Amino acid sequence: MRAREPGSKALRRLPPPLQRRVRRLLNSAVPILQCALAAAVAWWIATVVFDHHSPFFAPIAAIISLGLSLSKRWRRSAELVGGVAIGVLIGDFLVQRFGSGAWQIAVAVLVAMSLAVFVDNGPIIPMQAASSAVLVVALPVSGAGPDRAIDALIGGVVGILIVVILPTNPAHRARLDAARILATARDTCAALATAVRAGDTAAISDVHGQISGLRGDLDEMRTDMRAGREVSVMSPLYWGSRARIARIAATAEPIDAAVRNLQVLTRRIDGMAARGEPVPAPVVELIAQLADGYEILRAFMLAPPTGQPDAADAARVLRGIVRQARPELVAAEDVTAASTLAQIRSQLVDMMMIAGLSRTTAVAQLHRSTG
């Protein structure tokens, strides 16, 4: 029985464009709540504890330091505070000596961004320096320069504390990202085998297009895996999960390689179909079995730490497929069929690595089972 992603049954009832939007909202729910809470707390601290008047930099800094992306929050906070400090200093200097106006804003942006780029190559610091300088020049407040820098520091610190005290589950989004990609690979292999058996060249081309559109999903998965490792380092609540997060993050490379190999395989089959070249039946059967392999990997990715299927279960299923991917299957075929089988065998190595085997061990398993 196939393991399902949480809420996937209800999501599948929605039109595909709405599915993507709802999934994006669900994935961002916790970061949105963190931003809302951090903004309120930063404002409260700046007004009640430090008695600052209209400390708008505090909630802004908290929101930017958190953001909807879970990765590099330490760096975002440092860049933000540094950018605000530069912008406030430049803006105050210009206001005190030349007043406020259009040319002062232009000079403030020019100097603040130049200094920020000189100090650091991060993407946030020059933008924050420029926007802070504009706010200071456009909305001059007597004696508020140091207060604004302190407000930015308050917001940045509050943002980090929210992550530490109320973190997202560092494994959750990464596991769901990986599971969705593996599910697409599973469906691609099943649809490809069906289309080849039916001789449906149009369906084969559609399958190739489907797997070729995963670049953005792979990038998102990598970002969430990096974020998971960062949260597991920052938050004491998840220090005990570091080893598990590291294992999940280690699947990023083989998942990426497996998708690329599957893209090459579908393109090769698409070319064979366009030229009217038959795909040997044993090769088609192997492609169908790849779908079973991707399904066990998807279920493994979604399983709880001590649940089933585990890495051993996934490796066992994959070894069963490997044993059937023998070179003799295409011994009497042409070079195209042989290269197609080689592509499948290479993909099986990637799949075994997703299950936790090293590349050396996976290659040895392939040679041992088919040698």
Residue 1, domain member (yes or no): no
Residue 324, domain member (yes or no): yes
Are 256 and 142 contained in the same domain?
no
Are 147 and 198 contained in the same domain?
no
Q: What is the pLDDT of residue 371?
A: 54
Are 29 and 57 contained in the same domain?
yes
Are 150 and 178 contained in the same domain?
no
Residue 233, domain member (yes or no): yes
Low-confidence ranges of the chain (pLDDT < 50): 1-4, 6
Contact by Cβ (8 Å): 277, 336: yes
Residue where a domain terminates, one of 116, 137, 165: 165
Residue where a domain terminates, one of 150, 165, 180: 165
Number of domain units in the chain: 2
User: What are the tens digits of pLDDT across the range 266-283?
Assistant: 998 988 888 888 888 888
Are 150 and 287 contained in the same domain?
no
Are 203 and 260 contained in the same domain?
yes
d(CA 195, CA 191): 6
Q: What is the pLDDT of residue 1?
A: 40
Are 254 and 326 contained in the same domain?
yes
Residue where a domain terminates, one of 135, 165, 195: 165
User: What are the tens digits of pLDDT across the range 192-202?
Assistant: 999 999 888 88
Domain of 117 in residue numbering reads as: 9-165
d(CA 76, CA 122): 9
Residue 2, domain member (yes or no): no
Q: What is the pLDDT of residue 291?
A: 93
The two tokens of residue 67 are: 């953001």
Contact by Cβ (8 Å): 309, 321: no
**What b/e readout covers 153-182, taking b as 16+ CB neighbours within 10 angstroms?**
bbbbbbbbebbeeebbebbebbbbbbbbbb
User: What are the tens digits of pLDDT across the range 64-95?
Assistant: 777 655 555 566 667 777 787 788 888 888 88
d(CA 28, CA 3): 23
- Cβ-proximal residues to 261 (8 Å cutoff; 6+ apart), any chain: 343, 346, 347, 350
Mean pLDDT of the chain, nearest integer: 82
Are 271 and 307 contained in the same domain?
yes
Residue 4, domain member (yes or no): no
Residue 3, domain member (yes or no): no
Are 101 and 186 contained in the same domain?
no
pTM over 0.85? The answer is no
Residue 318, domain member (yes or no): yes
User: What are the tens digits of pLDDT across the range 141-185?
Assistant: 655 557 777 888 888 888 878 877 776 766 777 888 889 899 999
